């Protein structure tokens, strides 16, 4: 993933309304925009806008079935995105673990020193 697509991806998922749409698509498979609009607390127009943004990031795709347009999640792309996000979280966990070790070691040494001086 390039930095540019990363940006689009994170801002796409960063919006709570879009996450709602994404969740519905994930749990229900292929559905239409009007089906989604019946299940969210925002307008049909808003649903369409969110679908456009999600589609641009490659997280969802659409196909025509008769007169209807159906949307579905692109599992590989979403998988890639969640892995990248999990890796960032894991990176911070590793850093925090090191901070913990450094601070606790420094604290133990301070105490030892104080005992000697006291």
Partner 1 sequence: MPGLMIDREVLIEAPVEVVWRTITEPDQVRQWFADRVDLVVEPGAHGYMEFGDQGGPVVVEVVDPPTRFSFRWNYPRGEEPVAGNSMLVEFTLTPEGDERTRLRVVESGHELLAWPDAEKQRYADEHRDGWVDYLDRLITLLAKRQSR
Contacts with partner 1 by CB under 8 A lie at 6-7, 10-16, 19, 22-23, 26-27, 29, 73, 75, 78-79, 82, 85-86, 88-89, 92-93, 95-100, 102-104, 106-107, 110
* Residue 38 CB, nearest approach to partner 1 (Å): 20
Residue 36 CB contacts under 8 Å (≥ 6 apart), including other chains: 21, 24, 25, 47, 51, 71
Distance between CA 71 and CA 76 in Å, rounded? 15
* Residue 54 CB, nearest approach to partner 1 (Å): 12
Give the residue with the Cβ less far from partner 1, 67 or 92. Answer: 92
**Torsions phi, psi for 2 (to 5 deg):** -85, 165
Give the residue with the Cβ less far from partner 1, 43 or 82. Answer: 82
Residue 20 CB contacts under 8 Å (≥ 6 apart), including other chains: 40
């Amino acid at each position: 993933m390039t930095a540019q697509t990363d940006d689009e991806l994170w801002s796409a998922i960063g919006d709570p309304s879009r996450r709602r749409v994404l969740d519905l698509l994930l749990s229900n498979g292929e559905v239409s925009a009007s089906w989604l609009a019946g299940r969210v607390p925002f307008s049909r127009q808003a649903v369409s806008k969110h679908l456009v943004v999600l589609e641009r990031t490659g997280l969802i795709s659409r196909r025509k079935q008769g007169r209807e347009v159906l949307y579905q999640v692109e599992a590989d792309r979403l998988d890639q995105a969640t892995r990248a996000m999990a890796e960032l979280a894991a990176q911070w966990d590793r850093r925090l673990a090191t901070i913990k070790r450094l601070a606790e070691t420094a604290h133990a040494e301070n105490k030892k020193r104080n005992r000697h001086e006291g």
